[in-house]
Structure 1
Amino acid sequence: MNEHSIRHLLVALLLGGLAVLVGCEKKPVPHKAIQNVAPQQVSKKAASDLSLAIWEAGQAQVLHAHASVETLQRAVGALLAQPGEDQLEEARLAWLDAHREFAATLPYIQLAFSPVDLRSQGRKLLLALDSWPAQAGYLDTVPGYSDSGIVNDTAIELTLANLRRQHRLTAHEEASTGFHALEVMLWGPTSERTAEDFVADSNGEKPEALAVNRRRELTRLIAKGIEEDMAGLARRWPTAANNLSREYLALGPVARLQQIRAAHTQVIDEQVLPRLPEGSESDVESGRAADSKQALLAIMATLQSNWIPTGGGGMAEVLLDRHQVNALEQTFSEFEALLLKMEDPFELAELGRLAQARKLLEQMAGLMAGTTQVPISEKDVMPVSLPVTEG
């Protein structure tokens, strides 16, 4: 499947397919979390169609993210083959595209690895691909420490297996695989990377031990690791594949919706809220690439497409009453508008806006879970006509 067909499938699933799933199933679900919703209160057909459409949308997004990672790997290869500023810029642009496409998969990954026996695998995958913040000095030379990092530590043989063993070895910021390790390599420890830092050096008895050559190999291996991990995920996703889809499909239709709902509220708690710092000293996700905001918007776009897709027919319409649906739609809109006003990286954003964004996210999670009540406005109350009495 080429990149065009993958994107076409994704758009079709998210913007069109969900709209027809609930059909005439317009009865509002009582205001409770879905764990307390009896199966007869949600149409099994609507639940089946919607839960399958969301899984297939996840597959399309994973395939698209993998394609963008393959493009990134090729761009890194081109940079190493012929280091130049144009090649470095192309590699950075490919990183930005791949990072955002990966961010858009996070709600689906959370869903796929929801079963108890798969959770440790899901955590391992996310840590391998998306561990942040990444300590620059763990990877490369930093100002004041000319011998720092794996590029200077010749005791570490540069193989992908070794990098995986070194990853988060003694501290969570010691990232040696994933997007943010590669971010350090492409933008540099101080965001002043030049293409010259990747020019091979053939001098000396052991040129492979020179820092610049180890930097080249380290960069290549990190990109390879990202592609390897995404390829593995793409292979496991299809409904005819293995335990990811098998465990999901083994659930009843309503139970699948329960799993989606729980996974998405968990994404807000574990993936979205941590990306919004509570203070100026907090960690930010992509300080060097300045991509924290766009990556967060990509996560939110996936959530919104599943809950309130264009044309209707998403999770909200099946699980929430109309007041909750309207409130959720408004919350998505307000959050996006607020986010677009913020600086990127978020460490530059106003603390008041960050606090407001966190509040909106908490409201969004409550609405998705069905635990947040929405007061009925006066205009929604039907007027009662009293009989006129003659006196």
Structure 2
Amino acid sequence: MRAPSIALLIALTTVVACSDRPAPSGGEPATPAATETPENASQQAVKQAARDLWAGSSALLEQVSQHTDQLDQSVQSLLNQPGPKQLENARAAWHQCHNSWLAFSYQLAVIDAHQGLFDDLATLTAAIGGWPIQPGFLDYFDVYSQSGLVNDIAIPINAQSIRAAHQQFDTEDRALGLHAIAYLLWGENGQRPATDFVLATTEDHSEEAPKADELPTNRRRALLALQVNLLRDDLQSLALQWQSNTRSQLTFNRQSGQQVSELLRAAAIYLIEQQLINQQLQPQIEAPDALPSSPVPYAGHGIPALQNQLASLQQLLRDDTRLLIREWSGNESNGWRDQLAAAERSLQKLAENQSETQWIAAIASLQQLAQMIKLPDPDA
């Protein structure tokens, strides 16, 4: 039995007119192909700054892996002794893991804005943090009490079957990743009871009766444990791809100083304009009752998630990478730092007051930040 298709109604294509020069989102480098002209000292310095940023990302992935281990421990405690406290601990561990993944948001924007260059990384990152999801593909939802993988005994709960089921028929049919795990932990409207994870037994041993491992509660337990294990595997694969002499790393390293600067600039704009404004903030103004404000509609804490995504740009203010900001805008890093701080404050105010006025103010602040790192319009 296949789960009903219940869309999350997340608007991913809303366009905000932030500038007449949108960030490139195709699979080509942000600048023309490298020429034979030798790079000057400035270009070489920019290229080294970009390489330092790429190399430093491994520490962020290591942090995500550590928090995934803690999530695994909390989930095992929940399955060993299901109760409200254990469920609360597992949810807190999920948030910690998810927040550390959002610290990687700028790198994710590099991948998403240039998927043709980094398609091998894009496949892994989509399996780890992809959203939106179809909740009914996973478990009971709304009036569909028998829906989802949890209730479909035709699909075994093992790595091969679950990976095969992931996005098999629809991109939102996600069986893997942080947001699929979140739905199992929180359920619809955050109302999942701890009793949903109590080990079930059956006294009916007739041939027609379901076996113990076919009971929904036991399948839910098995699916949750498996999802966390597969999340760990995918993070390890991503870390290896990031560190090793892989095609993606070679592609990044062989860009000229100007090319790699443009590639990273486009990613910064993509993160601000596409991921934060178009996909998350703008829909709240257009349909506030229908659209969640963040990629954590089931787990909650949506505004902190937005803040963590924006804070990932702080990496550009490190001593070894802030040269990129001056290259993009001609501004000293302190001015860019001030505008980033202003944008972060605007999101903080949303946690206190989610009025339409405050949503508009947050968008305006982010638009100003994006404008600071756009190249001057030659026609202006």
For the criterion TM > 0.5, the same-fold answer is: yes
* Other-structure match for 2:326: 317
Q: Does 1:50 align with 2:46?
A: no
Q: Does 1:328 align with 2:336?
A: yes
* Runs (5+) with no aligned partner, structure 2: 1-23, 25-29, 206-210
* Other-structure match for 1:362: 367
Q: Quick one: which amino acid aligns to residue 82 of structure 1?
A: Q
* Other-structure match for 1:237: 242
Pairing partner for 2:351 from 329, 343, 346: 343
| Whole-Å separation in 2 of the counterparts to 1:40 and 1:363 | 32
* Other-structure match for 1:220: 225
Deviation at 1:45, TM superposition (A): 4.2
* Other-structure match for 2:302: 292
* Runs (5+) with no aligned partner, structure 1: 1-32, 376-391
Please tell me whether the aligned partners of residues 261 and 368 of structure 1 are also in contact (alpha carbons under 8 angstroms).
Answer: yes
1:185 alignment partner, SS class? helix
Deviation at 1:41, TM superposition (A): 7.6
| Aligned structure 1 segments of 4 or more residues deviating by more than 6 angstroms | 38-42
Deviation at 1:172, TM superposition (A): 4.2
1:342 alignment partner, SS class? helix
- Between stretches 69-78 and 178-187, larger displacement belongs to 69-78
Q: Deviations over 1:124-174 (max 9, x none)?
A: 333322233333322112343321222111112222332233333444443
| Whole-Å separation in 2 of the counterparts to 1:124 and 1:49 | 27
Q: Deviations over 1:186-228 (max 9, x none)?
A: 1122312222211111324410010100110111122122211
Structure 1 residues 246 and 120, CA gap change in structure 2 (3 angstroms): closer
* Other-structure match for 1:14: none
* Other-structure match for 1:9: none
Q: Quick one: which amino acid aligns to residue 161 of structure 1?
A: Q
Q: Which has the larger radius of gyration?
A: 1
Instruction: Report the number of matched residues.
Output: 336
- Between stretches 174-183 and 38-47, larger displacement belongs to 38-47
Q: Quick one: which amino acid aligns to residue 314 of structure 2?
A: Q
* Other-structure match for 2:280: 275
2:189 alignment partner, SS class? coil
Please tell me whether the aligned partners of residues 52 and 320 of structure 2 are also in contact (alpha carbons under 8 angstroms).
Answer: no
Please tell me whether the aligned partners of residues 199 and 218 of structure 2 are also in contact (alpha carbons under 8 angstroms).
Answer: yes
| Whole-Å separation in 2 of the counterparts to 1:78 and 1:312 | 42
Please tell me whether the aligned partners of residues 265 and 328 of structure 2 are also in contact (alpha carbons under 8 angstroms).
Answer: no
Structure 1 residues 207 and 57, CA gap change in structure 2 (3 angstroms): same
Please tell me whether the aligned partners of residues 78 and 87 of structure 1 are also in contact (alpha carbons under 8 angstroms).
Answer: yes
1:230-269 to 2 correspondences below 5 Å: 230-238=235-243, 240-269=244-273
Structure 1 residues 297 and 286, CA gap change in structure 2 (3 angstroms): same
| Whole-Å separation in 1 of the counterparts to 2:309 and 2:359 | 17
| Whole-Å separation in 1 of the counterparts to 2:253 and 2:40 | 21
Q: Deviations over 1:230-268 (max 9, x none)?
A: 111011112x43222222222233432222112222222
Please tell me whether the aligned partners of residues 140 and 189 of structure 1 are also in contact (alpha carbons under 8 angstroms).
Answer: no
Q: Quick one: which amino acid aligns to residue 338 of structure 2?
A: Q
Q: Quick one: which amino acid aligns to residue 275 of structure 2?
A: Q
1:43 alignment partner, SS class? helix
Please tell me whether the aligned partners of residues 191 and 288 of structure 1 are also in contact (alpha carbons under 8 angstroms).
Answer: yes
Please tell me whether the aligned partners of residues 42 and 254 of structure 1 are also in contact (alpha carbons under 8 angstroms).
Answer: no
1:198-209 to 2 correspondences below 5 Å: 198-203=197-202, 204-205=204-205, 206-209=211-214
Deviation at 1:179, TM superposition (A): 1.1
Q: Deviations over 1:81-106 (max 9, x none)?
A: 22232221221111001101111112
CA RMSD after TM alignment: 3.1
* Other-structure match for 2:10: none
Please tell me whether the aligned partners of residues 104 and 295 of structure 1 are also in contact (alpha carbons under 8 angstroms).
Answer: no
Pairing partner for 2:358 from 349, 353, 361: 353
* Other-structure match for 2:20: none
- Between stretches 90-99 and 359-368, larger displacement belongs to 359-368
| Whole-Å separation in 2 of the counterparts to 1:39 and 1:349 | 52
Deviation at 1:312, TM superposition (A): 8.7
Deviation at 1:35, TM superposition (A): 4.8
* Other-structure match for 1:303: 313
Structure 1 residues 253 and 84, CA gap change in structure 2 (3 angstroms): same
1:96 alignment partner, SS class? helix
Structure 1 residues 312 and 91, CA gap change in structure 2 (3 angstroms): same
| Whole-Å separation in 1 of the counterparts to 2:297 and 2:225 | 22
2:376 alignment partner, SS class? coil
| Whole-Å separation in 1 of the counterparts to 2:233 and 2:67 | 13
| Whole-Å separation in 1 of the counterparts to 2:319 and 2:66 | 25
Q: Quick one: which amino acid aligns to residue 247 of structure 1?
A: T
| TM-score under structure 2 length normalisation | 0.78
Q: Deviations over 1:267-305 (max 9, x none)?
A: 223322212233312233212221322222222112133
1:168-179 to 2 correspondences below 5 Å: 168-179=167-178
Structure 1 residues 275 and 114, CA gap change in structure 2 (3 angstroms): closer
2:351 alignment partner, SS class? coil
| TM-score under structure 1 length normalisation | 0.76
| Whole-Å separation in 1 of the counterparts to 2:354 and 2:323 | 32
